[in-house]
Amino acid sequence: METNCSHNSDPMCSGFQGIYDVEHFIAVLRFDVRIVESIPETRKNGKTKKIKAYQLRPPRDAPISWYATDALKKMKEHGAIYLTPFSHRLAEEIDNPEYQRLRCRVNYHALRFKPHIMKLSNTIVNKPTERKFCSKRLVYHERRAIGKCPLTPEEVGLVLHALGFDNSTKIYLAAGELFGGERFMKPFRALFPRLENHSSVEPADELLENSQGLVGSAVDYMVCLLSDIFMPTYDGPSNFANNLLALAPIFIDRENGRLAGFEEAVRRVMLNTNFGGPHKRVPPESFYTNSWPECFCQMSPKNPADKCPPENVLEILNNRLESEMGNGFESTTTSNLTVPTEEEQ
């Protein structure tokens, strides 16, 4: 993991190390994997040079066996490998529960945004308001009669109004470019005028300058996470769009002038669902959007592998790591480690 940034304007600092707390990442995973911040140098024939990583393209949804054979072979040959691209390059369903739990530790404990991102996100969420609401990705395509497209912004607004949200509700829009642009947003804005995004919330100047690019996306994510209510509008079985098939005929009736009972019909559809509640992952849901049950331990499991760890798990792991290091296990560079003061669960 290359994370050395000599200056904030360095283009390399716009990646992982530009938005995530690298020291925290290394510290949390220190019991699982050895992480260095740069590739070490080698000395040969009296000359010192940096190891050049061999670029390797992992197949999409590769099994663990590919990394343990093909990738490992190349690493042994070249000393280091550079995996690219890396999105969806590991199979989501893995038989080994420990590997899935490692994913959980990475996603929910090790990955933490930098302080200025957390500060900006909290500034947005904690602005005085009656209600806080986060709506994400208002986009629209055809095929709506069969429930195969997201709702338009206006339709989202009508659903929210049917559920009891009035025009005093503050809505934070976390989205990229909207299909149809501002023309599609005017009806929604008329229903909910208190519409904001990370560029319009008027934070302090030093925070505003950090709200672009990847940082802006990170802020959007945190605001959604910290908000009282989060309502995703893109398609998928575990979110708002799960009800599109049932909502489509209701909106078609409304367009044809049949307005009577519209809000009651919407409420009946929306409230007769487990929307927002925990449920076991179902196809085609992704492990990364719904990690139930792998990332949830059990107090009294039938399978011992699902049992929650003891409360002093960090002390146990730390003693084990110290023991391994005392027996000749090569330790990570001390300067790269920061031991957390709070217990990571």
pLDDT band at 134 (very low <50, low <70, confident <90, very high): low
- DSSP letters for 52-101: PPEEE-PPTT--HHHIIIIIHHHHHHHS-EEE---TT-S-S--S-HHHHH
The predicted structure's pLDDT at residue 340: 34
pLDDT at position 30 over 70: yes
Which pLDDT score is estimated for 77? 93
Confidence of residue 341 (pLDDT cuts 50, 70, 90): very low
pLDDT of residue 162: 92
Summary mean pLDDT of the chain: 76
CA 301 to each of CA 50, 93, 278, 306, 307: distance values in angstroms, whole numbers, following the listed order: 49, 21, 18, 6, 6
Residue of 289 and 207 predicted with greater confidence: 289
Q: What is the pLDDT of residues 164-188, one digit of tens each?
A: 999 888 888 886 556 566 777 888 8
Mean pLDDT of 23-50: 87
- The 3-state secondary structure of 319-335 reads HHHHHHHHCCCCCCCHH
**Cα–Cα distance for residue pair 33/36, rounded to 1 Å:** 10
Task: Label residue 243 by pLDDT band (50, 70, 90).
Answer: low
pLDDT at 63 over 70: yes
Confidence grade of residue 149 (pLDDT, cut at 50, 70, 90): low
160-174 b/e (C-beta count within 10 Å ≥ 16 → b): bbbeebeeebbbbbb
